Amino acid sequence: MCGTQVRRRQPRDHEGGWRLSVARVHRVVSEVTTSAPAGVLYGLIADATQWPLYFRPCVHVERLAFDGAHERLRTWAMTEGQVSSWVSSRDLDVSRRRVTFRQDLTDAPVASMNGMWEVRPLGDRCQVVLEYQFTVDGDAPAEVAWTERVTRVNGEAQLDQLVWVAERWPRLDELELVTENTVRFEGSADAAFDFLYRAEGWTAGLPQVRGVRLVESKPGVQVMTVDGLADDGGAQHTESVRICFPGAGRLVHKETITSALLSAHTGEWSVEPDESGVNLTARHHVLLREDAIVGVLGRNATVAQARQHVRDELGRQDHLVLHQAIRHAAGAVRVL
């Protein structure tokens, strides 16, 4: 776990000398072996924008810069029930099937974090290695232990989920579904976004929503719990994390507790005004839970039927929310 030590130059003390502090570098390595092809494994590691669909703790990834070999990412993820965020830089080496990363901005207590993903072919199998190296402010034992535990648990979970996806790669086109619904209106784009942002008011205009709890512990980061009615009239409970970008008219979300048919569900609301009106769009990217299809839709149900069922249900939900947002925007009073 513990490796080399890093000396940091600190401000001068009262005698004019340099104060030196020592930050111990801690190392966590996890690995897994799989029959999945090396190219598929590397591709999944390299395309971090898709991680929210495949890795449960990962909520959202924004690509800030990319030139084909180097990129900067802003990532939001769940860490022991809390939403953390950081900015990282990554170097992608396709010839060596290696991705190295370092966090440019970290969340306390982590002072620095870097590491590497590497795919190593082993005959007809592949080994995937995930390595982290980190330092902790003050090197307090309790905070080091916490960081090591979270890093190890998350790393092992990521590897397990990576293997699960990679081994099903030939069938992912069947299990993944992307939907998009857009309505156009004339009115206030700000008011429409306000309706989406203040989701605690949805119970007033959406009959299928029985209760909403919205908690915004950090500006623009919301945890939303919804109790409502499913298509069959039964109770449905979902929970999601929402990342809000008011200046861009975007609100991205990921369900952390999904409906029964879905293994993963990410999406985005966007409000896009132009010279003649406003486009209001709901987008969804879901991964079906294949082993739940029979229990939800019946003994002879197929993946194709499950896809259509999910598409229809999301479409009905989108229709209700989008049109309620339009009504809210139409009733908004502009204050000058």
Q: What φ, ψ does residue 313 adopt, rounded to 5°?
A: -65, -45
Judge whether residue 3 has pLDDT over 90: no
Residue with tokens 């969804």: 284
Q: What is the DSSP code (8-state) at residue 322?
A: H
Q: What φ, ψ does residue 183 adopt, rounded to 5°?
A: -125, 150
* pLDDT of amino acid 231: 64
Mean pLDDT score, 11-22 = 47
- Per-residue pLDDT of 284-316, as tens digits, reads 999 999 999 999 999 999 999 999 999 999 999
Q: What φ, ψ does residue 10 adopt, rounded to 5°?
A: -105, 170
Q: What φ, ψ does residue 144 adopt, rounded to 5°?
A: -65, -45
- Per-residue pLDDT of 52-105, as tens digits, reads 999 999 999 999 999 989 999 999 998 878 898 889 999 999 999 999 999 998
**Higher-confidence residue: 79 or 196?**
196
* pLDDT of amino acid 7: 34
- What's the CA gap between 59 and 53, in Å, rounded? 8
Two tokens at 231? 């298509």
Strand-pairing partners, residue 283, are 180, 268
- What's the CA gap between 125 and 4, in Å, rounded? 33
